[in-house]
Amino acid sequence: MTAPLASIGAAALGFLAAIGRLAIFTGQTLSHLVRPPFYGREFATALVQIGYFSLPVVGLTALFTGGALALQIYAGGARFSAEAVVPQIVAIGMVRELGPVLVGLMIAARVTSSIAAEIATMKVTEQIDALVTLSTHPMKYLTLPRVLAATLVMPVLVGVGDVIGIYGGYLVGTERLGFNAAAYLQNTADFLEPLDVVSSLVKGAVFGFIAALMGCYYGMTSDRGAMGVGRATKSSVVAAAILILAANFLLTEAFFSA
Amino acid sequence: MITLSDVHKSFGTNAVLRGVDLQVARGSSMVVIGGSGTGKSILIKSILGLVQPDSGTITVDGKDVGTGDRDAFLARFGMLFQGGALFDSLPVWQNVAFRLLRGALKRPKAEAREIAIEKLRRVGLSADVADRLPAELSGGMQKRVGLARAIAAEPEIIFFDEPTTGLDPIMSGVINDLIREIVTEMGATAITITHDMTSVRAIADNVAMLHGGKIRWTGPVADLDRSGDAHVDQFINGRATGPIEAIR
């Protein structure tokens, strides 16, 4: 009779415990921001790995999305004679929503998985223990540089994604849908507001923080063996994607609710 | 002197250490033997603070290992891990000089590299391997790089976790001889975990057998064959029958 209730209770307690563990891990990570030593070389490496090497995937994702968005808005707008709003809607759609969210999800796929797999493998092969015996704190050496680099570099990636996405819409608009090039750019520039850009970059920073943190958290808490590494990698990407989408909703509410 | 008193450690319902008492004199080489899964690695990880014991005390030179400056404490130790635990993203020399490139023992890069190459030579590896990545080395070479890393900062205390596991008999002999030479030459205190009896006889001054979560027998290596303990006799002679169950 009480078994279903007990199961629900156990699941709820497990969920709360997981949130608690993640909160403690986040606090520990942030606490190392103000406690030397700092590992500049690891930070620089993470910047290049997360930022520079993500540019192709971010660029291609944004380019195709911007182009598809222009086609959709043109086709949808034609139903009520609003085809002319393509530049404005592409701009606002890319900058406010699609740019940060798609870049965030691509980073979750590319970077979160990579961080989780790398750290989990280090854990199961005792490399994390080796770091400790070599007087190096794993959170300082592995977690903080990655989380900090992702938080700082993601706004840049989102900015690049926004521009390339708008350019994708511009290409389709001018080459396929017959828009005047100068008018398209003018409409885009006139319609965008500073808050649109600020919200986009802030979202980028938050999504970068989430993506790297999830990779580090699941890597550090991985179980043993190949299955443990696989589970950590999968869980990190799922958790990062869900948290990014949830954070996107909250940030949109914060920036744009009337 | 390393002293463990009534150390307990459980993982869930699995009580691994059930009151370990052990003393390792300064400058001596202690080898801990015991079957797989008896908690030998947990024992040395407890001393290093990588695993927190549930109860009991562990002291090094009279000081509790859980108190005081952790970095200064760890700087006294070197450890060779079972699988080497080399950092795959760093070339060999940076693995060896890891401690010398950062933290309190930081040296200029050129000096750290020079020390790393000297330590590599000490374990029988040429300077050619310095710029290779660990994945490009054989198992025996990785073990030797791990050994070079363990001794790079000239620690007072060195732990060796299964130093010959997975190596052929000749390479095992090389590693055993190296460990013995290094420990003698550096005057370091050493604890080695192994179930390789050739290693025990090559490395040990003293031997302790861990069984059932406790130290079953301890004494000089010369007394190992006349310990008078049935568990020790069965283990060192590799007999399937005796007080230690083969299926655990």
Helix/strand/coil (H/E/C) assignment for every residue in chain A:
CCHHHHHHHHHHHHHHHHHHHHHHHHHHHHHHHHCCCCCHHHHHHHHHHHCHHHHHHHHHHHHHHHHHHHHHHHHHHHHHCCHHHHHHHHHHHHHHHHHHHHHHHHHHHHHHHHHHHHHHHHHHCCHHHHHHHCCCCHHHHHHHHHHHHHHHHHHHHHHHHHHHHHHHHHHHHHHCCCCCHHHHHHHHHHHCCHHHHHHHHHHHHHHHHHHHHHHHHHHHCCCCHHHHHHHHHHHHHHHHHHHHHHHHHHHHHHHHCC
pLDDT tens per residue across span A211-226? 999 999 999 999 989 9
What residues in A contact B104, CB-CB < 8 Å?
135
**Using CB atoms, which residue from B49, B83, B99 is nearest to A134?**
B99
Residue after which a domain boundary falls, among B129, B154, B179: B154
Residue B54 reports pLDDT greater than 60: yes
**Tokens 């750019």 identify what position?**
A185
Residue after which a domain boundary falls, among B154, B170, B189: B154
Q: Do A135 and B74 touch (CB under 8 A)?
A: yes
Maximal CA-CA distance, chain A? 71
Q: Do B86 and A127 touch (CB under 8 A)?
A: yes
Q: Do A129 and B87 touch (CB under 8 A)?
A: no
**Which residues share a beta bridge with B220?**
B206
DSSP annotation of B110 reads H
Listed in sequence order, the residues at least 6 apart from B107 whose beta carbon sits closer than 8 Å to its beta carbon are: B97, B100, B101, B115
What residues in A contact B83, CB-CB < 8 Å?
125-126
Contact residues of A toward B, CB < 8 A: 37, 39, 122, 125-127, 129-130, 132-136
Does B185 lie in the same domain as B67? Answer: yes
Residue B181, both tokens: 């030479």
CB A149 within 8 A of CB A51: yes
Is B246 in a helix, a strand, or coil?
coil
pLDDT tens per residue across span B180-224? 988 898 899 999 999 889 999 999 999 999 999 999 999 999 999
Q: What are the DSSP E strand ranges found in chain B?
A: 2-11, 14-24, 29-33, 55-60, 63-64, 77-80, 157-161, 189-193, 206-211, 214-220
Domains held by chain B: number = 2
Does A250 lie in the same domain as A202? Answer: yes
Q: Which domain, by its residues, includes A247?
A: 39-256
Does B148 lie in the same domain as B60? Answer: no
Does B128 lie in the same domain as B196? Answer: no
Average pLDDT over residues A135-163: 97
CB B155 within 8 A of CB B76: yes
Does A252 lie in the same domain as A124? Answer: yes
Average pLDDT over residues A50-61: 97
**Using CB atoms, which residue from B48, B102, B103 is nearest to A133?**
B48
Average pLDDT over residues B71-99: 93
Q: CB contact, 8 Å: B77 with chain A?
A: yes
Confidence of residue B246 (pLDDT cuts 50, 70, 90): low
Average pLDDT over residues A146-175: 97
Confidence of residue A3 (pLDDT cuts 50, 70, 90): confident
Average pLDDT over residues B113-142: 93
Does A67 lie in the same domain as A12? Answer: no
Q: Do B86 and A129 touch (CB under 8 A)?
A: no
Does A129 lie in the same domain as A100? Answer: yes
Q: Do B83 and A125 touch (CB under 8 A)?
A: yes
**Exposure on the CB side of residue A202, measured as CA atoms within 13 A:** 14
Does A249 lie in the same domain as A147? Answer: yes
Residue after which a domain boundary falls, among B154, B188, B204: B154
Chain A: give the shortest CA distance to residue B203, in Å. Answer: 22
pLDDT at A258 (0 to 100): 65
Confidence of residue B242 (pLDDT cuts 50, 70, 90): confident
Q: What is d(CA B93, CA A173) in angstroms, rounded to the nearest whole number?
A: 56
Does B129 lie in the same domain as B87? Answer: yes
CB A88 within 8 A of CB A191: yes
pLDDT at A83 (0 to 100): 85
pLDDT at B172 (0 to 100): 87
Residue type, A126: E
Confidence of residue B244 (pLDDT cuts 50, 70, 90): confident
Q: What is d(CA B153, CA B119) in angstroms, rounded to the nearest whole number?
A: 10
- Check whether the bond before A100 is cis (ω within 30° of 0): no
Residue B140 reports pLDDT greater than 90: no
Residue A30, both tokens: 């942030």
Residue type, B169: P
Better pLDDT: B179 or A45: A45
Does A201 lie in the same domain as A252? Answer: yes
Does A193 lie in the same domain as A246? Answer: yes
Chain A: give the shortest CA distance to residue B49, in Å. Answer: 9
Q: What is d(CA A238, CA B134) in angstroms, rounded to the nearest whole number?
A: 32
**Using CB atoms, which residue from A37, A129, A135 is nearest to B81?**
A129
Q: Which domain, by its residues, includes B111?
A: 80-154
For residue B127, is it within any domain?
A: yes
Does A55 lie in the same domain as A21? Answer: no
Domains held by chain A: number = 2
Does B186 lie in the same domain as B166? Answer: yes
What residues in A contact B98, CB-CB < 8 Å?
134, 136
Does A16 lie in the same domain as A68? Answer: no
Does A147 lie in the same domain as A219? Answer: yes
Q: How many residues does chain B have?
A: 248
Q: What is d(CA B102, CA B118) in angstroms, rounded to the nearest whole number?
A: 19
Residue A52 reports pLDDT greater than 90: yes
- Least Cα distance to A129 among B166, B68, B87, B201 occurs for B87
Listed in sequence order, the residues at least 6 apart from A219 whose beta carbon sits closer than 8 Å to its beta carbon are: A115, A116, A117, A118, A119, A120, A122, A123, A142, A232, A236
Confidence of residue B240 (pLDDT cuts 50, 70, 90): confident
The CA dihedral of A239, A242, A244, A249, to the nearest 10 degrees, is -150
Does A186 lie in the same domain as A89? Answer: yes
Residue B248 reports pLDDT greater than 60: no
Q: What is d(CA B192, CA B185) in angstroms, rounded to the nearest whole number?
A: 17
Does B64 lie in the same domain as B44? Answer: yes
Q: CB contact, 8 Å: B45 with chain A?
A: yes
Chain A: give the shortest CA distance to residue B71, in Å. Answer: 5
Confidence of residue A1 (pLDDT cuts 50, 70, 90): low
What residues in B contact A130, CB-CB < 8 Å?
79, 81, 85-87
Confidence of residue A125 (pLDDT cuts 50, 70, 90): very high
Q: Do B102 and A125 touch (CB under 8 A)?
A: no
Does B67 lie in the same domain as B44? Answer: yes
Mutate which of B11, B46, B89, B162 to disrupt the A interface (most A C-beta within 10 Å)? B89
Q: What is d(CA A92, CA A99) in angstroms, rounded to the nearest whole number?
A: 10
For residue B247, is it within any domain?
A: no
Residue A254, both tokens: 């914060």
Residue B39 reports pLDDT greater than 60: yes
Does B136 lie in the same domain as B197? Answer: no
Alpha carbon B242 to chain centroid, angstroms: 28
Residue B72 reports pLDDT greater than 90: no
Q: What is d(CA A143, CA A119) in angstroms, rounded to the nearest whole number?
A: 9
For residue B245, is it within any domain?
A: no
Residue B178 reports pLDDT greater than 90: no
Q: Which of residues 88-127 of B touch A (CB under 8 A)?
A: 88, 98-99, 102-105
**CATH number where B59 lies:** 3.40.50.300
For residue B9, is it within any domain?
A: yes
Does A228 lie in the same domain as A181? Answer: yes
pLDDT at A229 (0 to 100): 96
